[in-house]
Amino acid sequence: MRYFLVNLAMHLVFLAILVLLTCIFVARNRARKTKRVPFYFLPVVLAFLAILDLGLITAPRLMDISSIASKSYYYDTGKITDVSFLNNYFFIDGKCYFINPLRMKAKVGDTVRVKHTNYSRFTSEIIDMSNPEATPSETAAKQ
């Protein structure tokens, strides 16, 4: 779960930078120091990006901290329909699940059981259902 916490910290830092830049550009607009017209709209764009990052990535992960601390996870089973280019998320039945690309690999077409958090769907374990004799640690080592 260190990957989850580092990823959450990086998104919090990114969010703080976006808010800081928004405040700086709003102050420049109020002081009438902005010289080019497109830069007047930069605070709006930065605020929009900050709201998107907060609503789609950071807030769900913040809500999952308690479930990670108490080790209460949810399980879903299905066939992997798509895997991202960077191998950091995959789709099962239209739902996106995030994984640690350094530890786990997902392949399209595999039937898996996923142990994940509730809000952000961060996956802590992938169990290959096509090989039921394998333990989760063997499956993770194989991937």
The residues, any chain, with a CB within 8 Å of residue 61's CB and separated by 6 or more, are 4, 7, 8, 11, 119, 120, 122
pLDDT computed for residue 104 by the predictor: 87
* CA–CA dist 71, 13 (Å, integer): 25
Q: Where are the domains of the chain?
A: 2-63, 74-142
Instruction: Kindly indicate the confidence band of residue 64, based on its pLDDT and cuts at 50, 70 and 90.
Output: very high
What does the pLDDT look like over 44-55, one tens digit per residue? 999 999 999 999
Q: What phi, psi does 67 have (nearest 5°)?
A: -70, -30
136 or 75: whose pLDDT is higher? 75
Instruction: Kindly indicate the confidence band of residue 14, based on its pLDDT and cuts at 50, 70 and 90.
Output: very high
Q: Distances in Å between the alpha carbon of 135 and those of 70, 73, 90, 95, 110?
A: 23, 18, 21, 25, 16
> Is 74-142 a CATH 2.60.40 domain?
no
What does the pLDDT look like over 108-138, one tens digit per residue? 988 999 999 999 999 999 998 877 665 554 4
Closest to 117 measured CA to CA, from 140, 94, 139, 96: 96
- Other beta carbons within 10 angstroms of residue 134's beta carbon come to 15
What does the pLDDT look like over 24-41, one tens digit per residue? 999 999 998 988 888 899
